Structure 1
Amino acid sequence: MALITLAVSGYRSLRSLVLPLGRLTVVTGANGSGKSSLYRSLRLLADVAQGQAIASLAAEGGLRSTMWAGGSGYSTAMRSGRSPMQGNIGGGPVSLRLGFASEDYGYAIDLGLPIPGPGASREEGSLFGDDPVVKAEAVWVGERLSRHNAIAKRGNTSVLVQDGNGRLQPVVTDLAPFESMMMRAADPTNAVELLVLRERMRAWRFYDHFRIDRDAPARIPRIGTRTVALASDGSDLAPAVQTIREIGNGPAFDKAIEDAFPGTSIEIDATHGLFRLSMRQEGLQRPLDASELSDGTLRYIALAAALHTPRPPELMVLNEPEGSLHPSLLEPLARMIAAASARSQVLVVSHAGPLVDALFDHGAQRLALEKDSGETVVADVDPPAWVWPER
């Protein structure tokens, strides 16, 4: 089911952001407006379902380095410049909150730091005392959390899940502070809703760094097997294209390539299990091997393979897909993305005006980010109603 709301609080420049999402949404804004932070926060939310959220935060420098660095609120005078900026930086509890609501379920998690004191990890001599811990967590039915629609929530070391009579009953009683209930409590017997939601989150796909350099794996023959989802770096491009042709919509993929590069076609051959991709062009006596293709051409082919997957995910996120593309390719790319949104919900992060405008013309919802006193805000958008789970 499609996401209808994305909520982030306390992550870099995203002090408190609640956004509506459509079937096709394009997030845009100037450099430094918070686009990358929004993209990373959504990836971090997906990492929760993989059990990788704490590791991902550590890779970014730890929870403290990703926190909102401003105050809890600014007055009109501060924003207008009539008085100096002041806030309560560091005055409140450390909190990074991430959540979403879909057409059926909602989920939110609140990450903080361990509380020093007797029994705390530092007192026990642990070297992991700066690792974030889960302060609150909840799954609910409907667009926003209330006192009556929670079907699972965290309670210290316990996970409470709604039983057949509608009562919240403990299904786990030894949950560690650093563990998400999505990892420990999701099972087909006692918490099937958590299991379903976790697997849906795990299936989200993110594409932001296709390898297109001269040594990219996609440029050289590689062992290939049936590939229903292109790897995030595009390394299995040749078998992914062949899989589309055998069990997916091969004609649609070929049409998308022809739309961008008139008079061309993609060829795949396999020798001794090694798959090789090449492009045949009118006027050339031989096809061009993947090693000979320009960076932009290879990137476009990878985008076409990702968007024509024979197993469409519920959510696909593209971060700055316009990189290395010639401006003439942006309109064909927009058409390809719009067509893919009929099969998957698609969120595009881009600062390329022609691509943003083309997607808007194809019915995309546009969210324009901007900075206001260091805080990322969205102009002319009414935020959906949202309630965070209590600690």
Structure 2
Amino acid sequence: MLTAIAIRNYRSILDLKAPLSQLTVITGPNGSGKSNLYKSLRLLAETARGGVVHSLAREGGLESTFWAGPEKLTRSMKAREVEVQGGPRQSRVQLQLGFASDAFSYSITLGLPVPSTSAFSLDPEIKREVIWHGSVCRPASSLVERKGPMVRARDGRQWRVIHEHTPSFTSLFDTLADPVSAPEVFQLREFIRQWRFYDHFRTDKDAPARQPQLGTRTPVLSQDGHDLAAAIQTIMEIGDKALLDGSINDAFPGASIHVGSEADGRFTLYFQQEGLLRPLTAAELSDGTLRYLLLMAALLSPRPPSLMILNEPETSLHPDLLPALARLIARVSEETQVWVVSHASRLIAALNKADHCHSIELEKEFGATKVVDQGMLDEPPWQW
């Protein structure tokens, strides 16, 4: 389980450290930085998939993701005694991302390259990566360390170099994830690769989830939800069918679902509501009903991930559906760590009823995202 996340110099996040729980709810007004915190976690996930540099390019390049304010917000600036202003930088401009877990922890530092004649001179470079055991990165707890092109691993009380020519544009997960020579790298890479992100399922009339699709066993719902019918049928056969039926009845009393298979192998989802003489197909469902079914299929995966992140799951849902969704999320979070990014007060209130829920409220202070009422002693221990 992730126990803390730390972000420095990413968009509106100047320096943020936040504790995490089995169920973590991220809240705050519009513009407070919820989306930036969500995107930073996606960037962390890309390190294990070989796509962190490409992800930064899609965001406009590394320089466009840097914190745009002063290097430090002084006490005088916060007291409005002087104007917010910059000055000579005391350190290099770098983007830093990291997390602590109850097993292995990880951080990555990205920066701008040395000016050169290469056509790729604006590509961000990975300057440093560290894997350690425990909550705080100390020399004694470090297991694998990458500085520039060289990677070394701890061997008892000594260090041994395991790679000397790591490209600046690839993570150590791309070159060293070997279960024999670098078991920590391999295990952490597989842990991160299990993370799943779900945001903004399409529910318009042409949404893939509304169309009959060729069905195969689907223990993990796809990002666009096109395999919804196959995912639900998989849950019925090898997953928790009782919880599936209970979640449907909790949200839509008296309703049920089943999946029909055509001769050509296409699956169609049918939704039977109390009082109707025939079931409705996915093409006939309201946006809110279809979205609830998509979230349910994602949450009840027979192959649960190490971490699931739901970004604004309340979109298109009627407020009366939010308590049922919250109960399902709370139930699933007992076995899978779940993040929920939301500004729906009714969903947040229902999630906070769970004993294992931790709520993080964000706000902005002089353009910088911070955790409301979090002092230095409330921050998780962290050292870059």
- Normalised TM-score (structure 2): 0.97
Task: Identify the residue that residue 192 of structure 1 maps to in structure 2.
Answer: 183
For the 8 Å contact 1:369–1:376, the answer to whether it is kept is yes
Contact kept, 8 Å, 1:211 with 1:235, in 2: the verdict is no
AA in 2 matched with 1:136? R
Contact 1:269 1:277 in 2 (8 A): yes
> Mind listing any 5+ residue stretches in structure 1 that lack a counterpart?
117-121
Letter in 1 for 2:105: G
Contact persistence 2:14–2:368 (CA under 8 A): yes
Bigger Cα displacement from structure 2, 75-84 vs 305-314 = 75-84
Displacement of 1:103 in angstroms is: 0.3
For residue 371 of structure 1, what is the aligned residue in structure 2?
Answer: 364
**CA distance in 2 between partners of 1:158 and 1:148 (Å):** 19
Return the alpha-carbon distance in structure 2 between the equivalents of residues 139 and 89 of structure 1. Answer: 32
Give matches, 1:254-333, under 5 Å: 254-271=245-262, 272-333=264-325
Which residues in structure 2 correspond to 1:97-116 (within 5 Å)? 97-116=96-115
Match of 1:150?
A: 142
5+ residue gaps, structure 2: none
Distance in 1 (alpha carbons) for counterparts of 2:88 and 2:135: 31
State the match for 1:383 in structure 2.
379
Match of 1:51 in 2: 50
**C-alpha separation in 2, matches of 1:339 and 1:360:** 13
Give me the identity figure in percent: 50
Q: Distance in 1 between matches of 2:361 and 2:310?
A: 16
Q: Give the superposed CA RMSD.
A: 1.2
After TM superposition, the structure 1 stretch with the greater mean CA deviation from structure 2, 25-34 or 148-157, is 148-157
- Check the 8 A contact 2:133/2:142 in 1, yes or no: yes
- What's the CA shift for 1:91? 6.4
Residues 182-233 of structure 1, C-alpha deviation per residue, up to 9 Å, x if partnerless?
Answer: 2111101110110010011001011012121111111010011111111112
**Which of 135, 140, 152 in structure 2 is aligned with 1:160?**
152
Cα distance in 1 between the residues matched to 2:160 and 2:244: 49
Q: After superposition, where does 1:182-221 map in structure 2 within 5 Å? A: 182-221=173-212
Q: CA deviation at 1:80?
A: 2.6
CA distance in 2, matches of 1:274, 1:94: 53
Post-superposition offset of 1:156: 2.4
Q: Name which of structure 1's ranges 189-198 and 379-388 shifts more when overlaid on structure 2.
A: 379-388
State whether residues 211 and 268 of structure 2, in contact with CA within 8 Å, keep that contact through their aligned partners in structure 1: yes
Amino acid at match of 1:220: Q
**Aligned-partner Cα distance in 2 for 1:161–1:219:** 50
Equivalent residue number for residue 128 of structure 2: 136
Q: Does 1:343 pair with 2:335? A: yes
TM-superposed CA distance for 1:73, in Å, is 1.4
Mapped partners of 1:157, 1:16: distance in 2 = 27
The 1:243–1:166 alpha-carbon spacing in structure 2 relative to 1, beyond 3 Å, is farther
- 8 Å CA contact 1:145, 1:387 repeated in 2: yes
In 1, the alpha carbon distance for the partners of 2:122 and 2:248 equals 49
Shift of 1:285: 1.1
Deviation larger for 80-89 or 92-101 = 80-89
1:88 to partner: Cα distance: 3.5
| Structure 1 residue 176 corresponds to structure 2 residue 167 | yes
Q: Where does residue 119 of structure 1 map in the other structure?
A: none
Q: In 2, Cα distance between the equivalents of 1:240 and 1:362?
A: 27
2:77 equivalent in structure 1: 78
**In structure 1, C-alpha distance between the alignment counterparts of 2:290 and 2:249, rounded to whole Å:** 14
How many aligned positions are there?
A: 379
